[in-house]
Amino acid sequence: MTPLAQRILLAIALLAVAGAVVSSVSLYHHYGSSQTSYCDFGESLNCDLVNRSTYSTVFGIPVALIGIMGYVALLALATLYRTKHETPVMLLIASLAGLGFALYLTYVEAFVLAVWCILCLSSLSLIFAITVLSAVLVRYTLRQGSK
């Protein structure tokens, strides 16, 4: 594995850890009963409203838990399975799935709930960065393979 591929995988791993942390904080507040003040900036910016809405679960599973599992899977791909030939493509597929889900949730925030969540937007930024890095890694590995 080339040094550039290693650096990209390290960056993906670090972003995945950050995503797992953000999702863990969100899950903690999802089950919390008291209001949080760190993310309550009025009617249009309130994590509690988003985090405890009917859209915060999918088939009874908290969205934040789904996020944790997704970020842990990305972390595993970028670290434990980094030497596998198919890992760059798997990272891209997994991160695109995560990005699609995050964009759906952002749509819900914008057009259904009309409330934004800083944690959700942070997670969106992280999964977007992971997706871009995964695409760069796929392109780079395809070029290296053709040489």
Percent of the chain with pLDDT over 70: 96
Q: pLDDT (tens digit, 9 = 90+) per residue, 90-115?
A: 999 999 999 999 999 999 999 999 99
Over residues 110-130, the mean pLDDT reads 96
Residue among 35, 37, 22 nearest 121 (CA): 22
Strand, helix or coil for residue 113: helix
> What pLDDT, on a 0 to 100 scale, did the predictor assign at position 94?
98
CA angle 115, 116, 118 (to 5 degrees): 150
- For 45, phi then psi, to 5°, come to -135, 90
* 128 and 10 Cβ atoms separated by less than 8 Å: no
* 65 and 118 Cβ atoms separated by less than 8 Å: no
As a whole number of angstroms, the distance between CA 139 and CA 88 comes to: 9
For each of the domains in the chain, give its residue range(s) and CATH number, in order of start.
3-145 (1.20.1440.130)
CA angle 14, 46, 127 (to 5 degrees): 25
More confident residue, 113 or 47: 113
As a whole number of angstroms, the distance between CA 102 and CA 116 comes to: 13
> What pLDDT, on a 0 to 100 scale, did the predictor assign at position 42?
75
> What pLDDT, on a 0 to 100 scale, did the predictor assign at position 40?
74
In a 10 Å sphere around its CB, with 0-12 CB exposed, 13-18 middle and 19+ buried, how is residue 135 labelled? middle
Q: Which of 8-12, 22-26, 47-51 has the lowest mean pLDDT?
A: 47-51
